[in-house]
Amino acid sequence: MSSEQRRAATYLRISQDRENTRLGVDRHREDAEALIAARQWAPVGVYEDNDISGKGHKKRPAFERLLKDIGSGLIDVVVAQEWPRLERNRADGVRIIEAAQRDHVLLTFAKGSDIDCTTAAGRLSADMFSAIARNEIEVKAERQSRAQRQRAEQGRPPKGVRPLGYASNGDVIEHEAEAVRKIYAAFSSGASLRAIAAALSGGESENLPSIPPLPRHNRSLMIERNVRRAGDGLEPRPVPDDSPWVSSTIMGILRNPRYAGYSTYTPKEVLANGDRRRSWRAQILRDDHGEPILGTWNRIVDLDAWEAVQDRLDDPARVTNRVGTDRKHLGSGLYRCGVCDKPVKTHSQRYRCEGHVMRSREQIDDFVVETVRRRLQLPDLHDLLPSADEPRMREIKLEIAEHQARIHRAQRDYDNELIEGFDLKRIRDRENAAIDTLEVDRLRLSLGISHNSVLEAPDRLAAFDAGDLGLRRSTIEVLCEVRLFPHPRGVKTFNSDSVSIMWRSAIAD
Ligand SMILES: [Zn+2]
């Protein structure tokens, strides 16, 4: 008789959504034991997952082991408290049902009816069961997004992660708001995203003395979350060390219409395109007359300033100008040290790479400008420009698609409540940063040269001479690489051999 006894595994999951304590799970275990005894099954083990631990809460090791043991033919029955405990999310629900269907396993619950995959009829109802579960999730998501839209139409602050400068209820947090205003001001006056990120991180902040160091917003949010968790009697989640600000976060701040007082709503379709940041303007909610709906919160940045920043962000020429506009001298950060290849810095009247080169700024700049001016006058200019690298372009496109796919997956996991908003944001920030870098590469490869107004001008020399520092720097950057070598000892006059100018076309070959 015992050889025909069905082998029953118990699955338990501790989760914080329904019960906060172990007590609930102990009761679940007792219920399962009673059920197994009543049906005269042979207990073959307890599979227990802890869903509330901060670390790796995406994974359910016991659940995975359970699937594996079902596949190995070790289990005839799975006992759990109720279907949601076992399922947790749509994807896992489908996996367990498929495993049960394949190996003819009975899924039985202390609360709720069985999913009996030992019979054809049972397997069919299992299909329906998982379809219903799926539908519930979709309905819930729809309801949430309708509620969000309604909030936005009423101009109420959106639920979810609070942006820098605002509390969850829409109140202005003054010291953060001040940082937001300074970020907008710095960007408007020509600072690069990277320079702003560095200044906020408390690092080297060339020409950006007005931006104060600030803890990274993500970190502030995590600390706040732990305060709330402590209030609910929960264990704190780990807060990572304060890492530096990244450009994509600055981009997100500069793009956010909420700072200008606009009420926003992001339809799912927009998110699905993975194009959220590039379509911030499209997120501004409009009334029936097409007028933007304003939020009930106070704006931190005025409308004109916000719009001006969007225009600048939308200008593709900005991206090609890798060297940035926040430099005072022609060659600082642009010319390289001939000894170690690092960009040189400005040191009073000189360009310097410490311990390697120290050269008169005026002499070098005159020489570089004269060389570039001569080159601009030659008819074969286009031979000097790097050509588009088609295989690399294709590679970049694939890499970008891969990063976008990761964002989509994270979005789906978030919708299915597999991961939290913080995780989603972290993944999105990380992937977007990678995409930003790749897009700069792509731009540089494809139209890096076509957006330089000097090279497009009918009279290039005149355009170069009339150009401002930023335009001259980007022209030099597009055309060539400049390296400075130590000046030969004992030579008083300027020696042009000690400066190397390599045309880009020569580098590409
Ligand atoms: Zn050096």
pLDDT at 383: 58
CA 396–ligand 1 middle distance (angstroms):
31
Residue where a domain stops, chosen among 140, 161, 193: 140
**In 3-state terms, what secondary structure has residue 359?**
strand
Instruction: State the alpha helices, DSSP H only, in 232-360.
Output: 247-255, 268-272, 303-314, 316-320
CA 342–ligand 1 middle distance (angstroms):
6
pLDDT at 87: 82
CA 353–ligand 1 middle distance (angstroms):
5
Domain CATH for 233: 3.90.1750
Residue where a domain stops, chosen among 280, 314, 348: 314
CA 360–ligand 1 middle distance (angstroms):
15
Instruction: Tell me: do 288 and 364 sit in the same domain.
Output: no
Does residue 259 sit within a domain?
yes
Instruction: Tell me: do 302 and 186 sit in the same domain.
Output: yes
Instruction: Tell me: do 501 and 363 sit in the same domain.
Output: yes
Which regions of the chain are under pLDDT 50?
1-2, 18-19, 53-57, 274-278, 319-326, 447-450, 508-509
Q: Across the strands, what pairs with 50?
A: 14
Instruction: Tell me: do 234 and 135 sit in the same domain.
Output: no
CA 484–ligand 1 middle distance (angstroms):
9
Instruction: Tell me: do 304 and 354 sit in the same domain.
Output: no
347 dihedral zone (left: phi>0; alpha: psi -120 to 50; beta): beta
CA 55–ligand 1 middle distance (angstroms):
43
> Domain total for the chain?
3
Does residue 153 sit within a domain?
no
pLDDT at 8: 96
Instruction: Tell me: do 365 and 503 sit in the same domain.
Output: yes
Instruction: Tell me: do 350 and 444 sit in the same domain.
Output: yes
The neighbour count for residue 367, using CB atoms within 10 Å, is 18
CA 247–ligand 1 middle distance (angstroms):
27
On whether the CB atoms of residues 316 and 297 are closer than 8 A, the answer is: no
CA 356–ligand 1 middle distance (angstroms):
5
Does residue 25 sit within a domain?
yes
Spatial neighbors of 84 by CB under 8 A, at least 6 apart, are: none
Both tokens of 256, joined, read 């956010």
CA 103–ligand 1 middle distance (angstroms):
67
Spatial neighbors of 42 by CB under 8 A, at least 6 apart, are: 2, 5, 6, 7, 8
Q: Which of 10, 6, 11 is nearest to 76 (CA)?
A: 6
Q: Across the strands, what pairs with 43?
A: 8
Instruction: Tell me: do 276 and 403 sit in the same domain.
Output: no
On whether the CB atoms of residues 331 and 344 are closer than 8 A, the answer is: yes
Does residue 166 sit within a domain?
no
Q: How far apart are CA 431 and CA 109, in angstroms?
A: 41
CA 173–ligand 1 middle distance (angstroms):
44
Spatial neighbors of 58 by CB under 8 A, at least 6 apart, are: 413, 418, 419, 423
Instruction: Tell me: do 118 and 195 sit in the same domain.
Output: no
Instruction: Tell me: do 101 and 43 sit in the same domain.
Output: yes
pLDDT at 489: 76
Instruction: Tell me: do 348 and 288 sit in the same domain.
Output: no
On whether the CB atoms of residues 469 and 335 are closer than 8 A, the answer is: no
Does residue 167 sit within a domain?
no
CA 354–ligand 1 middle distance (angstroms):
6
Does residue 168 sit within a domain?
no
**In 3-state terms, what secondary structure has residue 500?**
strand
Tell me which residue range forms the domain holding 12: 2-140
Instruction: Tell me: do 277 and 213 sit in the same domain.
Output: yes
CA 399–ligand 1 middle distance (angstroms):
33
Residue where a domain stops, chosen among 284, 314, 344: 314
Domain CATH for 53: 3.40.50.1390
- Tell me if the pTM is above 0.85: no
CA 452–ligand 1 middle distance (angstroms):
29
Does residue 349 sit within a domain?
yes
CA 392–ligand 1 middle distance (angstroms):
30
Does residue 159 sit within a domain?
no
Task: Give the up-direction half-sphere exposure of residue 89: CA atoms within 13 A in the CB hemisphere.
Answer: 15
